[in-house]
Structure 1
Amino acid sequence: MSDSPTDTIALLGTSADPPTRGHQALLEGLCKQFPRVATWASDNPSKQHVIELNQRLELLDALVQSINNPRLELVQELSSPFAITTVTRAEQRWPGLDLCFVVGSDLISQIPRWKDASTLLGHCRLAIVPRQGWPLQDAELKRLRSLGGRLEILPLGIPGTASSEIRSRAAASQIPDALEPLLLKHNFYGFTRGND
């Protein structure tokens, strides 16, 4: 485990459309870095989602169960299109805990445009996970700090797997094994046996 104090919880929301091996690696890595990790499926106001939120939640739940780590919990009550709402709910659920909101480096440039971004950054630490293909930019980090961001770069190597690639090609190799039965059962994303 890292230096994260025992009163810290990492918060990771995802559109999970669908969850990928990248999501799996990230959740597993966070469990090594933090004493507690909460995740949830959410609607992203800047994306068009392929399947409904409750279906994406089912996929994420299957992934969380397969990871089977007592530090990790699925807390769907945190779900909101807006990070500030999620953090407010987390403060109410875990009063006194140090909240660490986790984002990939691909989202850094968007955060200043998020609803109530400076308020959000004042209520939590921002943990940034470098993603392959999205190098950290000093100017973007400086902008976040100018908005009050307390930043932490996490030493996690996360593959550049993108859910959009899976949706367009139904690439089975990027799907966590635990999700395959659900994808086949519901034919999500046109997923059938023999994809890839």
Structure 2
Amino acid sequence: MRWRPISRDALVEELAEKVAAHQGWVRVAVDGAPAARPETLADELVAPLRLRGRPVLRVSAGDFLRPASLRLEHGRTDPDAFYEDWLDAKALTREVLEPLDPGGSGQVLPRLWDSRVDRAYRAPYQELPPGGVVIVDGTLLLGRGLAFEMTVHVWLSAGALERGSPEDELWRLPAYQRYERETRPQQAADIVVRADHPNRPAVLVNES
């Protein structure tokens, strides 16, 4: 395994170039544990893509969680339930990804479920014009059969992941370990970014 050091600015520009090389609608996943801050990298891609003439819509998978009655059926700190049951993948597919299939409507629902108060956002649909990009950040997104043209995994070593996780989220660590073991995000993602030091990232070099 070899990592190529890169500056944060250069990383963002490199990713934006790769996204912009796709034709038509582009669905991009920026995946990573919360400690890796995938949402920050996703946000940083918006401006350079718009400078390249691509309309951008940002979506967070955290706004597509299942209701608490389903999500927390086995308790609030069950790592297997967190891994398997928290994300409403069907809703994310129906409301965000399928509308951007070839011949789709382009009508995307940016937010569905507010898990903090356990009720729907009632957000309006937004139309993403042809050539637009939807960037979805979230955790445990890979290996679910979700339709993305490009996937980025923001990876942390086990030590960095534990240090960066809040005390009340340490119960999730077995789920991330399972993800590494079963989904193998370093192999599943198109691009893997190591973020143990956020301002000194590195990109995994595919030597196959």
TM, length-normalised to structure 1: 0.35
Q: Which has the higher contact order (CA 8 A, sep 6+)?
A: 2
More strand by share: 2
TM, length-normalised to structure 2: 0.34
